[in-house]
Amino acid sequence: MHLVKNPLTLLMSQRSGYRGRTHVHQRDTNDDAAILGGDIQLQAEHQESVQETKDLGLSDVYRNNLRNRLGHIIEWWKTNYPGYYDVA
């Protein structure tokens, strides 16, 4: 016997074809929408740093460490690019 934690989920899947989470690649998007702060130019030294980071081929552990430092990065944007920080 198969136990269902939430009977509503089973009911929804039987009636409406609901199959769980809709993944990002399955969603309709509006690719014509403007990118927030798209008109703000990065300084050359910062653009070079971005490219160097992309070229490193980072490991999962290192990439996760970078994600944990997001608070510091947000503060950096707030200080160095307040115009972008305000719209993003």
Would you write out the chain's pLDDT as a tens digit for each of its 88 residues? 455 555 555 555 555 566 678 787 787 877 787 888 888 888 999 999 888 877 777 777 887 788 788 888 888 989 999 988 888 7
- Quote the pLDDT of residue 80: 93
The answer to whether residues 38 and 87 touch, using CB atoms and an 8 Å cutoff, is no
Query: How far, in Å, CA of 53 to CA of 6, rounded?
Result: 44
Greatest alpha-carbon pair distance for the chain in Å reads 63
